């Protein structure tokens, strides 16, 4: 299963799709990118005259790439065109270090901690183009076919 096939199986669409490409894929981890569009809906009013990407959106970006895309890859043998995965975020713990501004391209690196009984737990990190750590944490989700 390649990057485009994984992205096509995601249960998201614009304006709530936060995956542009996947650059590394294995059963142990995944790496992908997303560029935050300057005119994204969530920048209006966050913050007045100084927009930054909300932490909940950064968490969602890391969950989509780091948990959902990885989960789809791990379960690829059980998927079909009629059998799309259903995903539920079960927990997240994040630490934020630097702001992400409109127009920035970020890279998400996810490492599988455990996958058991269709629950995937991952260590995730988000970097900017200067390879500075913007945020990191642990995200868990349930995948159901």
Residues with a known catalytic role: 46
Phi-psi group of 117: left, alpha or beta (phi > 0 → left; psi -120 to 50 → alpha; rest → beta): left
The DSSP code for 41 is: G
3-state secondary structure of 111: strand
Whether a cis peptide bond, with omega within 30° of 0, leads into 100 is no
Q: Which of 110, 134, 136 is closest to 53 using CA atoms?
A: 134
Which pair of tokens denotes residue 25?
A: 């894929």
**Position of tokens 């304006």?**
15
């Amino acid at each position: 299963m390649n990057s485009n096939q994984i992205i096509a199986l995601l249960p998201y669409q614009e304006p709530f799709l936060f995956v542009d490409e996947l650059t590394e894929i294995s059963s142990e981890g995944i790496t992908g990118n997303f560029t935050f569009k300057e005119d994204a809906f969530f920048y209006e009013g966050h913050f007045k005259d100084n927009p930054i990407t909300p932490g909940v959106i950064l968490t969602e970006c890391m969950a989509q790439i780091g948990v959902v895309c990885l989960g789809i890859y791990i379960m690829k043998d059980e998927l079909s065109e009629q059998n799309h995965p259903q995903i539920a975020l079960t927990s997240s713990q994040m630490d934020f270090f630097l702001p992400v501004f409109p127009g920035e391209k970020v890279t998400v690196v996810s490492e599988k901690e455990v996958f058991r009984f269709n629950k995937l737990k991952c260590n995730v990190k988000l970097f900017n183009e200067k390879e500075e750590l913007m945020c990191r944490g642990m995200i868990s989700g349930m995948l159901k076919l």
